[in-house]
């Protein structure tokens, strides 16, 4: 058996500039961090030539004898697309599970695709680098499934960590880790709060509208995205300078710009929740992902957090605790080097991205 896990992410600034419609014209940039909420794939080999997929989150399963017969338009479209893209004669049971609900703005769909690719290429002994893993996952979703997605989520899931990610007009991508001192990193992490608004959705319609408006270079959406991209760079500089107060203010300014990209990004309830948080001490924040629902991210110094927490709980919104993830996509396998007599039970070992283990 192989077990793979990949993190989801929170994006601070630059979201939307990772879409081809924008970065192919102007170049894009995103500041984001992976967090310790994971998507898991459990793979067990079969001997009957069939593939079975079970999703605990979607409460769905499928069992097929012919890879070519796997449907492209089902709710299991992502795992099916990954299997078809690899084109390998793999017979296996795949069990999929996540720590967060799908469609909540944390990049879970990309985490699914990255995770499956990581597990399956490990099983097939054809490992991918982190860059290749992210690019291939993006290609499967964007080109294979025809969905309006950007690149940032795949890179966050593959690399992990706090990163400033550049997207070049020619399609190239560069991941720059943001190396903070331990005190600044701890201060940042302790000042961030996540609240689930209770609304889960897929963001593809929002992103489709955004891509359409971004194809018009003089549009208001493009001007707003220029501000969003600039905010990602300024936020990074504030973090490197250790100025967390400035970072919180920039998060607020970037959210005001992001809302001008599309009228679908926010709504009356989101605006109310955000204002409640601001009234009780939050310095800044935003909806994670493309918008419209999901998680509300806040920057709030510790002295104000109890007040913000109580105010949002009175609105029926619950907090989700988290920490940063610095490992990215990984595979766990039973360690073959431990003598059976030394094992009281099953021992699992995290493997690095490369090289692939001998299975």
Any idea what the CATH number is for the domain that residue 38 is in? 3.30.230.120
For residue 334, tell me if it sits in a domain. Answer: no
For residue 140, tell me if it sits in a domain. Answer: yes
Residue 181 in contact with residue 288, Cβ under 8 Å? Answer: no
CA-to-CA dists, residue 75 to 79, 309, 350, angstroms:
9, 35, 30
Residue 96 in contact with residue 53, Cβ under 8 Å? Answer: yes
| Tokens describing residue 191 | 């000042």
For residue 357, tell me if it sits in a domain. Answer: no
Q: How far apart are CA 266 and CA 259, in angstroms?
A: 6
For residue 122, tell me if it sits in a domain. Answer: yes
| Tokens describing residue 169 | 């007009």
**Catalytic status, residue 73:** no
**Cβ atoms within 10 Å of 82's Cβ, excluding its own:** 25
Spell out the per-residue pLDDT of the chain, length 359, in tens. Answer: 899 999 999 999 999 999 999 999 999 999 999 999 999 999 998 889 889 999 988 788 888 887 777 666 677 889 989 998 998 778 899 999 999 887 788 989 999 999 999 999 999 899 999 999 999 999 999 988 888 889 999 999 999 999 999 999 999 999 999 999 999 999 999 999 999 987 655 565 666 666 666 776 678 889 999 999 999 999 999 999 999 999 999 999 999 999 998 888 888 999 999 999 999 999 999 998 766 678 999 999 999 999 999 999 999 999 999 999 999 999 987 544 333 333 333 333 344 433 333 32
For residue 85, tell me if it sits in a domain. Answer: yes
Closest CA to 165 of 177, 175, 156, 157: 175
User: Could you give the angle at which helices 244-258 and 220-240 cross, rounded to 10 degrees?
Assistant: 170
136: CB partners within 8 A, 6+ apart: 85, 117, 128
pLDDT at 58: 78
Of 153, 183, 205, 237, catalytic? 153
Closest CA to 270 of 247, 293, 238: 293
pLDDT at 75: 77
For residue 191, tell me if it sits in a domain. Answer: yes
CA-to-CA dists, residue 119 to 60, 86, 95, 150, 294, angstroms:
20, 12, 12, 23, 28
Q: What are phi and psi of 70, to 5 degrees?
A: -65, 130
| Tokens describing residue 41 | 């794939």
> What residue has token string 């104000």?
304
Alpha carbons within 13 A on the beta-carbon side of 219: 17
Q: How far apart are CA 242 and CA 15, in angstroms?
A: 23
What's the domain range around 281? 2-319
Strand partners, 332: 3, 350
> What residue has token string 């204002």?
275
Per DSSP bridges, beta strands 92-98 and 51-55 are: parallel
Residue 163 in contact with residue 177, Cβ under 8 Å? Answer: yes
For residue 241, tell me if it sits in a domain. Answer: yes
| Tokens describing residue 284 | 């800044």
**Cβ atoms within 10 Å of 336's Cβ, excluding its own:** 9
pLDDT at 104: 81
Q: Into how many domains does the chain fold?
A: 1
For residue 327, tell me if it sits in a domain. Answer: no
């Amino acid at each position: 058996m192989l077990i793979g896990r990949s993190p989801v992410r929170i994006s601070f600034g630059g979201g939307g500039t990772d879409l081809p419609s924008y970065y192919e014209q102007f170049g894009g940039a995103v500041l984001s961090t992976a967090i310790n909420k994971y998507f898991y794939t459990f793979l067990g080999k079969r001997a009957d030539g069939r593939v079975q997929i079970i999703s605990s989150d979607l409460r769905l399963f499928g069992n097929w004898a012919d890879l070519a017969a796997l449907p492209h338009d089902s709710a299991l479209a992502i795992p099916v697309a990954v299997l078809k893209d690899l084109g390998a004669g793999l017979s296996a049971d795949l069990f999929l599970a996540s720590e967060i609900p799908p469609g909540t703005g944390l990049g879970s769909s990309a985490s699914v695709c990255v995770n499956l690719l990581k597990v399956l290429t490990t099983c097939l002994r054809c490992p991918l680098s982190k860059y290749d893993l992210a690019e291939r996952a993006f290609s499967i979703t964007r080109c294979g499934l025809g969905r309006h997605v950007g690149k940032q989520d795949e890179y966050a899931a593959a690399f992990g960590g706090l990163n400033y990610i550049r997207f070049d007009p020619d399609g190239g991508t560069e991941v720059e880790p943001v190396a903070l001192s331990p005190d600044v990193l701890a201060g940042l992490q302790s000042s961030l709060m996540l609240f689930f608004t209770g609304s889960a959705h897929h963001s593809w319609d929002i992103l489709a509208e955004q891509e359409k408006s971004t194809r018009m270079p003089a549009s208001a959406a493009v001007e707003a995205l220029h501000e969003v991209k600039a905010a990602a760079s300024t936020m990074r500089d504030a973090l490197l300078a250790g100025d967390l107060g400035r970072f919180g203010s920039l998060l607020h300014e970037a959210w005001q710009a992001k809302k001008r990209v599309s009228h679908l990004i926010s709504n009356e309830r989101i605006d109310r929740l955000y204002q409640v948080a601001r009234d009780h001490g939050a310095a800044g924040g935003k909806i994670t992902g493309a918008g419209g629902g999901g998680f509300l991210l806040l920057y709030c110094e510790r002295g104000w957090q109890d007040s913000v927490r109580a105010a949002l709980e009175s609105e029926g919104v619950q907090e989700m605790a988290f920490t940063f993830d610095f490992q990215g996509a990984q595979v766990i396998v039973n360690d073959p080097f431990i003598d059976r007599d030394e094992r009281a039970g099953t021992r699992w070992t995290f493997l690095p991205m490369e090289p692939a283990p001998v299975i």
